[in-house]
Amino acid sequence: MAIIYHEEKQIFSLHTKHSTYQMKVDQYFYLLHLYYGNRMESCMDYMLPYFDRGFSGNPNDTGNNRSFSLDIMPQEFPVLGTGDYRNTACKIREQNGCYGCDLRYTGHELQKGKYSLPGLPAVYADQAETLAICLRDERIGVGVTLYYGVLEDLDIITRSAKVTNIGQDCFYLEKLSSVCLDFLYGQYDVISFYGRHAMERNMQRTAVSHGRQVYGSSRGTSSHQYNPFVILAQSDATERTGECYGVSLVYSGNFSAEIERDQFDQIRLVMGLSEEQFSYPLKAGEEFYAPEVVLSYSGEGLGLLSDQLHQCIRRHICRGNYRDQIRPVLVNSWEACYFNFDGNDIVNLAKQAAELGVELVVLDDGWFGKRNDDNSSLGDWDFNEEKLGCSLKELSDQVHAQGVQFGLWVEPEMVSEESGLYREHPEWVLQIPGKKPIRGRNQLVLDFANPEVVSYLFTKLSRILEQGQIDYVKWDMNRSLADIYSGCTENQGTVLYDYMLGVYRLLDLLTSIFPDILWEGCSGGGGRFDLGMLYYTPQIWCSDNTDAVDRVRIQYGTSFGYPLSVIGSHISASPNHQTGRETRIDTRGVVAMTGAFGYELNLGKLSEEEKQEVKKQISFYHQTAPLLQNGRYYRLSNPFEEEYGAWMVVDREQRTALLSVVILNMHGNMPVIYIKPDGLNRNLKYRNHETGAVYDGDALMSYGLPLSLELGDYRAYQILFEAVDETEYCGSRKLT
């Protein structure tokens, strides 16, 4: 049993293979948090801090017992109104304006299998167990069910909450977090991932200090600026050592992650929906579900934590026919021709792709309505036969006739003011009455909180996808939300949450009806790179910035919480269109192979030498793709602090490994760089696939491998190691 209830002590223990999560119902029926860490069988209630603290109030039930205060007790689901002055997980406003919720334990249920959440993405698993704990406030009529899912073998615990109005009077839900983790003491850092458009998920490590540290988004999406994933790590934790906790929200809209060190040096981490523009009324009998949080604990450093999350995402978040498949190598038309193309250009791109071994051609923006720039036609999802010179079916057939697959770009959540849809339905956008709209990229946002909008788009997009053999769809979203007002509700505090439910509803319908399509998420690149989108799209375009040097850092930060198989990563032109930087095509290839591999350039402009390199890259990618998709990923350097980026992927049997290195800065008379591989079997010998040189696994991991530095900017190294049984001469040279 992964979930054990000690009836006498009223203690719940959630056991995974290597961790234990423990909580207790106390004598006043409060649900207190006891422990989360290395697996153990002990009851940890002896750790509870009973002290008489000044200015920390005592619940009325405690009588003269001043040693009990929720202001100092570790809790599972703290709410505003109980005398706890720290961050809370829930705020409920009564009709009279009061905040006085007081939730007490009323019962629990153990279930086989993993719970699901209506309308929301969530981890799925047959081999799992669920604990549902019921809390109530009878005075207000609030019922809360806390859900815990345990995936024992993967060291994963999930959390969510359902709030129900069990009374007669309406109340307002004004904050709802999916998780609260309380720590009685310790020196911790919070690792977060900040950024901006075209430079997402920069890793930042900050000591948890007194006060509150808040990371989140109010942009209507999980955002380029802050990712809905944080790590709480012991201050001395490294890639290989120390305790750390990963907390990842399965949601694509506004969120908040708050970390607080209180007056007594206790630490609280709360993550869930953002409070901003959120006020959700619940009438008698109505329910509200919080998005899920995925938790994982590692006592052996950040590398193991990442691997546990990677395996969970690959096997229990991503779904569909492509979940376990090697993705086709694609070329996207965007940087090849932008809006300037016709059908012949796309067919020619397909011919060039087939000659080089590229397997999929994606027709990006500009194929619909009267779309020749980004100022019109969003919402008019009709194929522009006049521009393309053919029907969608004819174009699809011609591309497939070249021996490659065919894909399309769409941006369903947006509408141009210059469009037939907006002229017909101006009430279908998020727009404050009487206020001139805030534009982003000259487009407005459709009101996905309105079921009519979702229904209309399902019909339009379904008809498009039925017109030809469409093998791939890129779902984009290119602005932040503003002017939050929906004409379909009187309660504007519901709009942002209902908007996301509408997006998920449309994605669920389309991916169910078209299961053979490979869906890729995108929001100006990585503006919605989260577990919520990965539930519907098994890969996400990592960043609009395809510069190889920047991508080393972007993909480094992304790797902490997300596996390589979900990271869309392409080779683009040099000089790069975002930075103007020039890099060699082999360097661009080494970086792009650290993800779902493809190209973002005009294949017709490649030199013969570059075309041969592309063929070589695609061949090598096919050779190593199963390793890259399923192996364990190791970070060997921090490219924000070191002169190089180095990483490694090792198969689960430790028989094959791919080492990749990119030199980020070159200096005169530079010292030799020594790379220490990780994840190898110390008792095996490994052969360099290209040179034939053989090394002891123990020697490589203990002392490293010297790189033969060559002059020039941004040189890259890629070495494939394969286990051998015989001893051979040790040596090494750069792979070119």
Task: Return the structure tokens found at 556.
Answer: 């480094």
How far apart CA 288 and CA 280 sit, in angstroms, is 9
Q: What is the CA radius of gyration of the chain?
A: 27
- How high is the pLDDT of residue 634? 98
Task: Name 339's Cβ contacts closer than 8 Å, sequence gap at least 6.
Answer: 365, 366, 371, 372, 373
According to CATH, the topology of domain 644-724 is: Immunoglobulin-like (2.60.40)
Long-range contacts formed by 427-433: CB under 8 A, 24+ apart = 427/487, 428/452, 428/453, 428/456, 430/481, 430/482, 430/483, 430/484, 430/485, 430/486, 430/495, 430/499, 431/483, 431/485, 432/483, 432/484, 432/485, 433/485
Q: Are the C-beta atoms of residues 219 and 548 closer than 8 Å to each other?
A: no
How far apart CA 321 and CA 663 sit, in angstroms, is 37
pLDDT tens digits, 37-66: 999 999 999 999 999 999 999 999 999 999
Percentage helix, strand, coil for the chain under 3-state DSSP, each rounded to 5: 20, 30, 45
268: closest CA among 253, 257, 279, 280? 257
User: What CATH number should be reported for the domain whose range is 330-572+586-630?
Assistant: 3.20.20.70
How far apart CA 583 and CA 576 sit, in angstroms, is 8
- How high is the pLDDT of residue 725? 78
**Where does CATH 2.60.40.1180 sit in the chain?**
644-724
Residues of the chain with pLDDT under 50: 728-736
- How high is the pLDDT of residue 708? 85
**Residue 29 to residues 302, 317, 548, Cα–Cα distance (Å):** 36, 35, 56
pLDDT tens digits, 324-349: 999 999 999 999 999 999 999 999 99
Task: Name 97's Cβ contacts closer than 8 Å, sequence gap at least 6.
Answer: none
Task: Name 463's Cβ contacts closer than 8 Å, sequence gap at least 6.
Answer: none
User: What CATH number should be reported for the domain whose range is 3-316?
Assistant: 2.70.98.60
pLDDT tens digits, 357-385: 999 999 999 999 999 999 999 999 999 99
- How high is the pLDDT of residue 726? 64
**Cα 546 from chain centroid?**
19
Number of Cβ within 10 Å of residue 696's Cβ equals 17
**Where does CATH 2.70.98.60 sit in the chain?**
3-316
Q: Which residues are catalytic?
A: 530, 610
pLDDT tens digits, 384-422: 999 999 999 999 999 999 999 999 999 999 999 999 999
**Where does CATH 3.20.20.70 sit in the chain?**
330-572+586-630
pLDDT tens digits, 255-292: 999 999 999 999 999 999 999 999 999 999 999 999 99
SS3 of residue 674 by DSSP = strand
How far apart CA 156 and CA 397 sit, in angstroms, is 45
Q: Name the residue type at position 501.
A: L
**Cα 157 from chain centroid?**
17
pLDDT tens digits, 612-662: 999 999 999 999 999 999 999 999 999 999 999 999 999 999 999 999 999
- How high is the pLDDT of residue 156? 98
